[in-house]
Amino acid sequence: MDKKRERASNFDKAETRLLTELVTKYKYIIENKKTDAVTNKDKEAAWGRIASSFNATTSGTTTRSSKTLKLKYEGIKKATKKKMSCRRQELYRTGGGPSNAPDFDDVEEKVLAICSNIIGLEARNDSDNISDVIQPASVPLKIDLSQDDLNLKFKRFQETIQDSDIQIVMLNQETDEKDLNESASQNAEPTIIGTENGEDSYNKWGTWNPKALKSKINPVLKPTKASVTAKIDELSATRLELVHLQQEIAKKEHYFVEQEHELKMTHLRNEEIRKQELHNLMLKTMQQKD
């Protein structure tokens, strides 16, 4: 018969706290979900090191084996999961009144940090989870550029638009900060003055109204007749080329069929000639025997 397991003294609060601290050091090994031989061997070695450190720290008290420490840790995990389930039930309970959700102590907080599967993963799309949403405070965005950086960017911008009739009005370094704030509050865009047909036109989005939708389309955006005709001509040429290719393929197929028929007829004629010659030879041989 197997020996009856000897009963040891219960874990006190200090021993439980020490156990969770030691497990935290080896949580990536102990909480590994793999069950192969190598992983199990690593887990046993980790529990052995935990038992050695535990007994060295608690010298003078009851010696705990790695098996005992493992069973105690599993019990703490089960109790923490049960308490988390009770808290979740209280969170979604209806009927009003004060909440009776149990609180976690420091040991259970460490277990929650070690075992992420107790709390669960957050849903990527929609979820019935109740979470506190903290709105970020609106912080004004301020971009600080030196005069050299501004000159370099303006020079590059000028190189890209040197062929167009656009003039840019740059703000110098002496621009009043108050004017900048006022323009930013009015959602003002950078002032761009374009010259089209000798007349100045300004894009001021502040004075935009729905009637502008009825204005004529810019000629640049309109598809020209020449481009449409060219596309139709190109499509017609492609279709005509496809028809020519199909005709060539049909001609070649007809030629191959004729060649095959001619070869078959030649073979049949040769076969008839061979049979006739063989028949004549047999008759001649029989006459000679007679």
In this predicted model, what pLDDT tens digit does every residue of 19-53 receive, in sequence order? Answer: 899 999 998 998 888 889 999 999 999 999 999 99
Nearest to 110 by CA among 224, 20, 19: 20
If one compares 105 and 168, the residue with the highest pLDDT of the two is 105
Confirm whether 42 is domain-assigned. yes
Pick the last residue of a domain from 214, 234, 259. 214
* Cβ partners under 8 Å of residue 187, min gap 6: 205, 206
When pLDDT is averaged across residues 81-92 and rounded to a whole number, the result is 85
Range picked from 82-86, 133-137, 175-179, 250-254 for highest mean pLDDT: 250-254
pLDDT at 103 over 50: yes
Domains of the chain: total = 3
Confirm whether 22 is domain-assigned. yes
SS3 readout for 99-149? CCCCCCCHHHHHHHHHCCCCCCCCCCCCCCCCCCCCCCCCCCCCCCCCHHH
Of 200-204, 214-218, 244-248, minimum mean pLDDT range:
200-204
Q: Based on the domain organization, do 56 and 74 belong to the same domain? A: yes
Nearest to 16 by CA among 74, 95, 99: 74
Confirm whether 75 is domain-assigned. yes
Host domain of residue 74: 13-114
pLDDT at 12 over 70: yes
Q: Based on the domain organization, do 196 and 268 belong to the same domain? A: no
CA distance 128 to 288: 112
E strand or H helix at 78: helix 66-91
pLDDT at 250 over 80: yes
What type of residue sits at position 195? T
Confirm whether 128 is domain-assigned. no
Residue 275's pLDDT band (boundaries 50, 70, 90)?
A: very high
Q: Can you give the pLDDT at residue 272?
A: 93
Confirm whether 141 is domain-assigned. no
Confirm whether 121 is domain-assigned. no
Q: Based on the domain organization, do 172 and 86 belong to the same domain? A: no
pLDDT at 168 over 50: no
CA atoms within 13 A on the CB side of 43: 14
Q: Based on the domain organization, do 196 and 228 belong to the same domain? A: no
Q: Can you give the pLDDT at residue 249?
A: 93
* Cβ partners under 8 Å of residue 222, min gap 6: none
CA distance 93 to 1: 51
> Full-prediction pTM beyond 0.75?
no
Q: Based on the domain organization, do 252 and 184 belong to the same domain? A: no
Q: Based on the domain organization, do 154 and 106 belong to the same domain? A: no
